Homo-oligomer: A and B are copies of this chain.
Amino acid sequence: MVREELLKEYSKVWAINYASALMGWDSETYMPEGSAKERGEASAILSSLKQSILTSQRFLDLFEKLKESASDDFERALVRVLEHDLKYYLRLPPELIEEMERTTNEAKIAWRNAKKRSDFSLFAPYLEKIVELSREAAERLGYEEHPYDALLDLYEEGLKTSDVERMFDELRSPLKKELQRILDFWPREHPLEETPYPREGMERLNKALLDALGFQWDYMRVDSSAHPFTENIGLYDVRITTWYHPKDFRRSLLATVHEFGHALYERNCDPSLWKTPLCGGVSLGIHESQSRFWENVVGRSRAFADFVAPMVREYLNIETSPHEIFRYFNVVRPSLIRVEADEVTYNFHIMLRFEIEKGLIEGSIEVRELPEVWNSKMEEYLGIRPSNDSEGVLQDIHWSLGAIGYFPTYSIGTIVAAQIKREMERELPLEELIREGNFAPIRDWLKERIHRHGRLYPPRELLRRALGEELNPSAFIEYIRGKYREAP
């Protein structure tokens, strides 16, 4: 049968992805430093081997046959997902992919250097080239309304520029109003942000916390790395990392909870989808909704502060109250750096990046204008102005990697997390469960509604099925209004 033949052929791609994921995890955790170049070479060869399998006549013939004969949800989803993934390889000429790779390899180094010297002009020529190549890629990938759509679709299947605009239009002014209101009476800092903690105790706290959350140690592990991430090696091998700064323990704790959310999504895919292109998270936005749900909705709640306070005492030897932990985890403060932003200001960081990316791709903003555009938008949205490029336009690595169209998925995640909360609370006593540390019903709900489906439905349809509605920014505004009603 066509389906079996195609999946057998695809299993080679699966095995290469499996190996590549392990290599990716290893390179951020245990790889000896000097072997980075060799690792890059092996990765590149495997990646081009994968491409040659996917675009082989044999595979394409099987794909066409399945397209004609697909007769159930599974097969139709297979066609949809392969079509989406193949588009990248089939529509972009190898020279373009190679040039992008070459450019981003150099751009990464230039960005690091520019950031260190806080001099955008050192990075600008590379970014110009990246924008130019991205525009060419968009033209070749094709789009209906806006060239930026073609790039968004790479990270969030089916997402359009107009969707993102609508999302931010609904968010922008209510959220601005909320922020102004909140800043009047809400803590802007907390002494625990400056309190050192014992690293070894924090490691044990993270492990105890993961235990309580329902981390599946038989199929998961946690390590540390420069930046926290989740690597989905296989359905039976999902690994997270966290980080340890000398003070401000919530950075480690909430990163651990965040990555747990990603890991759980991958691990809970239905085993019947194993080794097929349908296994795993359906899009970056839905993925981020899982990590943000656990980090923000669960981890930054009053109930979680009650739950975690005894652990803080036991493992970190820090005497504090649930009340203080809640205040500490929820400091709201307009800041220059996205990755340090609280949940109220976070989306403004994304709006700014989206407006710039859209402008660059449609040609209404020039690369050389970026520092000024960036700083003005920061002032407009958050009322603060970077004093240099390093804490402004140069702060994120993403553009140097060629990742244009990626940032909006962070806002999608934040919003969907609030929608999940609203829907879940119709059925579960969420607050009570968190306070008791009884996370199993929450995990089961997420698995049943979202996780198990893998990529079977496109993001939009998955949301409709799971939550009864598509992306809905008002849920997020409602969440913020509810949580930040009065002084904590």
Contact = CB atoms under 8 A, between A and B. Distances in A.
A46 B236 CA distance: 18
A18 B33 contact: no
Interface in A183-197: none
A46 B30 contact: no
Nearest to A46: B15
A35 interface: yes
B15 A237 contact: no
Q: How many copies does the complex hold?
A: 2
A51 to B, nearest CB: 12
Contacts of A219: 32, 34-35
Interface stretch (A36-44, A199-207, A302-310): A36-44
Interface centre among A33, A35, A37, A235 (most CB of B within 10 A): A35
Contacts of A38: 18, 234-237
Contacts of A218: 32-34
A20 B15 CA distance: 10
A234 B49 contact: no
Interface centre among A42, A45, A239 (most CB of B within 10 A): A42
A237 B31 contact: yes
A19 interface: yes
Contacts of A30: 30, 221, 223
Contact of A42 (B32, B223, B234): B234
B221 A37 contact: no
Contacts of A239: 32
A2 interface: no
A19 B46 contact: yes
A12 interface: yes
Interface string A2-34: 000000000110111011101100100011111
A221 B45 contact: no
Contacts of A235: 38
A150 interface: no
Nearest to A235: B38
A42 B23 contact: no
Nearest to A30: B221
A198 to B, nearest CB: 17
B237 A49 contact: no
A34 B49 CA distance: 29
Contacts of A223: 30
Interface string A139-164: 00000000000000000000000000
Nearest to A26: B22
Contacts of A18: 38, 42
A299 to B, nearest CB: 24
A42 B26 contact: no
A220 interface: yes
Contacts of A31: 237
Contact of A22 (B22, B49, B234): B22
Given A49-B12, A236-B37, A19 B32 contact: no
B19 A20 contact: yes
Contacts of A20: 19
Contacts of A46: 15-16, 19
A11 B43 CA distance: 11
Q: Which 6 A-B pairs have the closest CB atoms?
A: A34-B218, A19-B19, A15-B45, A35-B237, A35-B236, A38-B236
10 contacts: A12-B45, A14-B42, A16-B49, A19-B19, A19-B22, A19-B46, A32-B219, A33-B218, A34-B236, A35-B237
Given A15-B41, A35-B237, 9 more contacts: A15-B42, A16-B46, A16-B49, A19-B42, A22-B22, A30-B221, A34-B219, A35-B233, A35-B236
